[in-house]
Amino acid sequence: MSIKVVLGNIAGWFLAILFFAIGFVNTFWGNDAIFGIGIAVLSVIYIPGTSAYIKKLTGFSIPVVVKILLALFILWAALGVGELFDKTEMMLEDLL
């Protein structure tokens, strides 16, 4: 396995977990349940091996450029428009 593949797998798992966590917070705190579920579902495409599975099913794979643009859009939406920090604060208040 080349270093490029290993780094890609690490980045994929990191983004999948990060985006799933963002989706989880948005689903259960605040008023953005549909947005949160959408982000959680989109996080699946970052799991290594998902692209190969999608290509096997459909014959189409998701290009890396599309994944990068989607990641930037998710971060922008969650941090800017979605007020992630306020929702994280609400979550911590509920849990403590």
Instruction: Indicate whether 78 pLDDT > 90.
Output: no
The per-residue pLDDT for 82 is 63
The per-residue pLDDT for 69 is 96
The per-residue pLDDT for 26 is 84
Mean pLDDT computed over 25-36 = 83
**How would DSSP label each residue in 5-65?**
HHHHHHHHHHHHHHHHHHHHHHHHSSS-HHHHHHHHHHGGGGSTTHHHHHHHHHS----HH
The per-residue pLDDT for 31 is 74
- For the chain, the domains span 3-95
Read off the pTM: 0.83
Could you read off the pLDDT of 51-66 as tens digits, one per residue? 888 889 998 888 899 9
